[in-house]
């Protein structure tokens, strides 16, 4: 019986077109070497796996998983695994490309990859998800590896998912090789080789980028109103740090719906509520439900999309009140919507900068595993802040020097680093 697999219908998100247009726009501005453009336009490797898993009721279901490796000129492939009905080969390609630009911009010794399984995890038990994850890892085989391609959590995957992947991967190695493989995934739980701070790193990075931007614009974040789409790892931690800074959460959207309160929604209480409410924000005390279509037009100063791709579109961009969009999600702003926003004077901190705290901290985890070190939380957070500030300054400086928006500036920095690597090394043979 493969009923569940068939029920899942992927909806194209159009992210591939978006990332290609972002890339081509920056490549045109810097007049990128045409041979290097050819290389960066394509993905190096694309793996599609179909695998059977035994369900709790004894029936077998077939799943489809993806891993796309875009480019590894700067180091091993790096990127998350997503469990969602919208995962398909184009989504994996787009997200893998964004990872290449992100790791390059952050100055990390990594390339870009992404993957996942096309499924709705809410339809499966924990033990089914464990078997699906382990069988997927087995199907990926030696196409991932600690010095080859290092997955991490993304939408609907978490530290537990990474622990299952690590355990499965290690179990397929000979006993003497096992302990050398701890860094095959990052974003692991602390007890399974994870790093202090990885849980909050992406959201903390989004918050820091907003703070750096506010300092640049001489804006005090105290009492500023913000809205968050997605109240998972990235959305929650971003809201947590912004609230600590004195800003006020006034609307939240998740997969179940939207809630609002112009006087403020307490982040920690909402987080506790969702844990007891099957992950949903709906029904939270002192909030009013609003329609999904009205979310982005809620009156606020800062808008943080932290869910899926292409959420800010030509349809809703004109009604956005925020003067800053901080992209926690990958590819949340459609390229046409971006033009509307830029014309209105809205600033956008682009995903490849804004949410790069996650992969930077993953790099710290990878380094610790590789070198047999364990760093304290303060050390991790300080290093993360330093790296993010460096990236932010570079983007602002390039954006001023070239008179371009922040996304174009970020792409230019990322592409130029890759271009240099190819120019210096040449093309084999
Ligand atoms: P998550 O699974 O922890 O949370 C996802 C959230 O989005 C949930 O609250 C879910 O209810 C909500 N959501 C799902 N579908 C939605 C919809 N159609 N409308 C509104 N909300 C919806 O995922 P996450 O790890 O927080 O990732 C969120 C985004 O951030 C993704 O785009 C991911 O690629 C990006 N990102 C994550 C990390 C990381 O370290 N986890 C790093 C960089 C970028």
Query: pLDDT of 237-285, one tens digit each?
Result: 999 999 999 999 999 999 999 999 999 999 999 999 999 999 999 999 9
Alpha carbon dihedral 423, 424, 428, 429, in 10-degree steps, equals 110
CATH number of the domain bearing residue 244:
3.40.50.720
Q: Give the contacts of 426 (CB within 8 A, at least 6 positions apart).
A: none
Residue nearest atom 27 of ligand 1, based on CA coordinates: 155
Measure the CA–CA gap between 132 and 134, rounded to whole angstroms. 6
Predicted local confidence at residue 282, as pLDDT: 98
Residue 225 marked in a binding site:
no
Annotated ligand binding at 168? The verdict is no
Strand ranges across the sheet with 112-117: 45-54, 60-71, 112-117, 77-83, 149-153
**Ligand 1 geometric centre to CA of 88 (Å):** 17
| CB-ligand 1 contact for 356 (6 Å cutoff) | no
The model's pTM is 0.96
pLDDT tens for each residue of 355-410: 999 999 999 999 999 999 999 999 999 999 999 999 999 999 999 999 999 999 99
What domain range includes position 173? 43-192
Among 166, 192, 218, the domain-final residue is: 192
Q: Half-sphere exposure of 346 toward its Cβ, with a 13 Å CA cutoff? A: 28
Regarding the beta carbon of 308 and ligand 1, being less than 6 Å apart is answered yes
Q: Which atom of ligand 1 is nearest to the CA of 362?
A: 40
Rounded to the nearest angstrom, the distance between the alpha carbon of 102 and the centre of ligand 1 is: 17
Question: Is the model's pLDDT at 10 over the cut of 60?
Answer: no
Q: Are 66 and 89 in contact (CB under 8 A)?
A: yes
Does some domain include residue 270? yes
Distance CA 403, CA 165 (A): 44
Residues 154 and 206 in one domain: no
* 231 pocket-lining for ligand 1 (C-beta < 6 Å): yes
DSSP 58: S
- Atom number of ligand 1 nearest to Cα 201: 40
- Looking at the domain assignment, is residue 31 inside a domain? no
Q: How far is CA 56 from the centre of its chain?
A: 31
How many CA atoms lie within 13 Å of 387's alpha carbon, on the beta-carbon side?
29
- Of 354, 379, 400, which one is at a domain's C-terminal end? 354
Strand partners, 61: 53
| Residues 262 and 166 both lie in one domain | no
Nearest partner of 309 among 31, 143, 93, judged by Cα: 93
pLDDT digits (tens, 9 = 90+) for 278-333: 999 999 999 999 999 999 999 999 999 999 999 999 999 999 999 999 999 999 99
202 is in an annotated binding site: yes
What's the order of all strands across the beta sheet hosting 248-254? 288-290, 257-260, 248-254, 225-229, 302-305, 324-326, 347-349
* Residue 330 beta carbon below 6 angstroms from any ligand 1 atom: yes
Confirm whether residue 125 is marked as ligand binding. no
Active site amino acids: 114
Tokens read off for 401: 């020097």
Tell whether 155 is covered by a domain.
Answer: yes
Q: Contact at 8 Å (CB) between 51 and 139?
A: yes
Q: Which of 199, 296, 306, 354 to mutate to test the pocket of ligand 1 (most atoms within 8 A of CB)?
A: 306
Is the per-residue pLDDT at 8 higher than 50? no
Report how far residue 240's alpha carbon sits from residue 263's, in angstroms, rounded to the nearest whole number.
17
Query: Which residues lie across from 94 on neighbouring strands?
Result: none
pLDDT for the residue numbered 178 = 83
For residues 397 and 237, the answer to whether their CB atoms sit within 8 Å is: no
Q: Are residues 263 and 156 in the same domain?
A: no
Centroid of ligand 1 to alpha carbon of 156 (angstroms): 7
Averaged pLDDT score across all residues of the chain: 95
429 cis-preceded (ω within 30 degrees of 0): yes
Asked whether residue 325 is domain-assigned, the answer is yes
159 and 216 housed in the same domain: no
343 in a structural domain: yes
Distance 401 CA to ligand 1 centre (A): 33
Beta-bridge mates of residue 288: 260
**Phi/psi of residue 153, nearest 5 degrees:** -75, 155
Spatial CA neighbour of 162 closest among 375, 381, 365, 378: 365
């Amino acid at each position: 019986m493969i009923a569940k697999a068939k029920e899942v219908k992927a909806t194209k998100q159009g992210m591939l077109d978006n990332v290609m247009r972002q890339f081509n726009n920056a490549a045109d501005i810097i007049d990128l070497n045409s041979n290097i453009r050819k290389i960066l336009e394509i993905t190096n490797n694309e793996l599609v796996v179909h695998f059977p898993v035994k369900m709790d009721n004894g029936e077998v279901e077939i799943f489809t998983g993806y891993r796309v490796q875009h480019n590894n000129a700067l180091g091993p492939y790096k990127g998350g695994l997503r469990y969602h009905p919208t995962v398909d080969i184009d989504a994996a390609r787009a997200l893998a490309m964004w990872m290449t630009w992100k790791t390059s911009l952050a100055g990390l010794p990594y390339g870009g990859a992404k993957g996942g399984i096309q499924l709705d995890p809410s339809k499966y038990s924990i033990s089914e998800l464990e078997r699906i994850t382990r069988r997927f890892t087995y199907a990926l085989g030696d196409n991932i590896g600690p010095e080859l391609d290092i997955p991490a959590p993304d939408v609907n995957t978490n530290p537990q998912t990474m622990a299952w992947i690590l355990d499965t991967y290690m179990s397929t190695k000979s006993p003497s090789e096992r302990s050398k493989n701890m860094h095959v995934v990052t974003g692991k739980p602390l007890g399974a080789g994870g790093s202090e701070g990885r849980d909050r790193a992406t959201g903390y990075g989004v918050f820091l980028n907003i703070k750096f931007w506010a300092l640049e614009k001489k804006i005090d974040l105290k009492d500023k109103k913000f809205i968050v789409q997605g109240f998972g790892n990235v959305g929650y931690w971003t809201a947590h740090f912004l609230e600590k800074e004195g800003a006020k959460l006034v609307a939240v959207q998740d997969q179940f719906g939207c809630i609002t309160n112009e006087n403020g929604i307490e982040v920690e209480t909402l987080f506790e509520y969702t844990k007891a409410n099957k992950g949903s924000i709906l029904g939270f005390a002192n909030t009013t439900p609003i329609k999904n279509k009205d979310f982005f037009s809620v009156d606020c100063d800062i808008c943080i999309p932290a869910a899926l791709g292409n959420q800010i579109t030509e349809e809703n961009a004109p009604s956005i009140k925020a003067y800053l969009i901080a992209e926690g999600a990958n590819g949340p702003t459609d390229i046409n919507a971006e033009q509307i926003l830029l014309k209105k004077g809205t600033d956008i901190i682009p995903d490849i900068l804004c949410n790069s705290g996650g992969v930077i901290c993953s790099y710290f985890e990878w380094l610790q595993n590789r070198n047999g070190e364990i760093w304290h939380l303060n050390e991790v957070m300080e290093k993360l802040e330093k790296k993010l500030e460096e990236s932010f300054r570079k983007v602002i400086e390039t954006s001023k020097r070239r008179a371009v928006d922040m996304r174009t500036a970020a792409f230019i920095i990322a592409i130029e680093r890759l271009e240099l690597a190819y120019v210096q090394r040449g093309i084999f043979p």
